[in-house]
């Protein structure tokens, strides 16, 4: 997982593919399940969500068939994260809550923290911002207690998004800035880009589209450089919204069409529809 954690997504995908190619057969079932899980989580980072679901579902079947309960719980957690991004919210919730029950049952703070972070993101996407803040804050408390800086950065981003949903803009900005600071210090590229997109969204919500445009442009360059396709789409969507607010409907339409292509490729149909609405608005303004 080192290449993936450090942001080298394409190299990680290549290496996992090589492991799968030589681990066919029942005697390699455990190795195959571990590799499928890691491949699935890397695909999630890369924005290949259908691929992530396919690999994680296969890993889950292998682990449940062999009664490897800890591994199956990890598969459910990662599968729930991918389904959440695909906006399949109810199956995502079922997998995440099942994994959370397991980790609480064995008193695993690391597992509980990871599941609470994901549930915070899920609640946020469903507009349940109070629940999102509750779970995000608890996940962050655990991350700090166990001194896990990588998870701390991720939890800060999740909590920042929840606070942004509640329009607590200063608090949200502070969380995103802290996530970016930690990520830069330790080289957590995915969390850094995520935090920068959050800062761009916060600037937009604060009524500063010029700042949002600049921050989102920097986030987009980083996301494209690391093959973070969904984060790149998120940055493009902020750029489109900012351009529309600054009176540049042509640029807004261009950014939105680029974002739509990426969302559609990842299977994120809800965000693709958001792009369609914005494209219609940009086209209408451009024709005036």
CB 25 within 8 A of CB 242: no
- Quote the pLDDT of residue 4: 44
> Residue 138's pLDDT is what?
98
Q: Do the beta carbons of residue 103 and residue 73 sit within 8 Å?
A: yes
The pLDDT, as a whole number, for residue 101 is 96
The reported pLDDT for the residue numbered 287 is: 65
pLDDT for the residue numbered 277: 93
Global pTM reads 0.87
The pLDDT of residue 259 is: 97
Strands (E), the chain: none
Structure tokens at 194: 């995520």
Tokens read off for 267: 């299977």
Query: Is 176 in contact with 160 (CB distance < 8 Å)?
Result: yes
**Around 100, how many Cα atoms within 13 Å sit in the side-chain half-sphere?**
18
pLDDT at 64 (0 to 100): 85
**Roughly what angle, to the nearest 10 degrees, separates helices 29-46 and 69-85?**
20
Distance CA 97, CA 207 (A): 37
pLDDT at 29: 66
- Tell me, what's the pLDDT at 46? 83
CA distance 22 to 245: 53
Query: What residues contact residue 272 under an 8 Å CB cut-off, 6+ apart?
Result: 260, 263, 264
Residues of the chain with pLDDT under 50: 1-7
Per-residue pLDDT, 266: 87
Q: What is the DSSP letter of 226?
A: T
């Amino acid at each position: 997982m080192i290449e993936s954690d450090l942001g080298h997504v394409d190299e990680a995908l290549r290496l996992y593919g090589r492991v799968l190619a030589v681990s066919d057969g029942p005697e390699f079932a455990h190795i195959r399940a571990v590799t499928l899980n890691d491949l699935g989580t890397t695909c999630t980072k890369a924005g290949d969500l259908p691929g992530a679901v396919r690999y994680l579902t296969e890993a889950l079947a292998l682990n449940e068939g062999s009664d490897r309960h800890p591994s199956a719980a990890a598969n459910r957690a990662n599968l729930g994260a991918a389904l959440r991004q695909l906006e399949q919210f109810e199956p995502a919730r079922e997998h995440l809550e099942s994994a959370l029950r397991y980790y609480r049952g064995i008193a695993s703070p690391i597992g509980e923290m990871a599941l609470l972070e994901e549930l915070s993101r899920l609640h946020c996407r469903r507009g349940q911002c109070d629940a999102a803040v509750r779970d995000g804050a608890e996940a962050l408390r655990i991350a700090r207690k166990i001194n896990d800086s990588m998870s701390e950065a991720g939890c800060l981003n999740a909590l920042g998004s929840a606070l942004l949903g509640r329009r607590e803009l200063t608090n949200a900005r502070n969380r995103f800035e802290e996530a970016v600071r930690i990520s830069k210090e330790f080289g957590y590229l995915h969390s850094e880009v995520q935090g920068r997109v959050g800062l761009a969204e916060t600037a937009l919500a604060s009524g500063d589209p010029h700042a949002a445009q600049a921050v989102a442009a920097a986030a987009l360059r980083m996301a494209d450089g690391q093959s973070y396709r969904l984060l790149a789409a998120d940055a493009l969507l902020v750029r489109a919204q900012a351009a529309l607010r600054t009176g540049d409907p042509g640029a807004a339409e261009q950014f939105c069409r680029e974002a739509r292509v990426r969302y559609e490729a990842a299977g994120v149909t809800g965000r693709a529809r958001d792009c369609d609405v914005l494209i219609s608005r940009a086209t209408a303004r451009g024709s005036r």
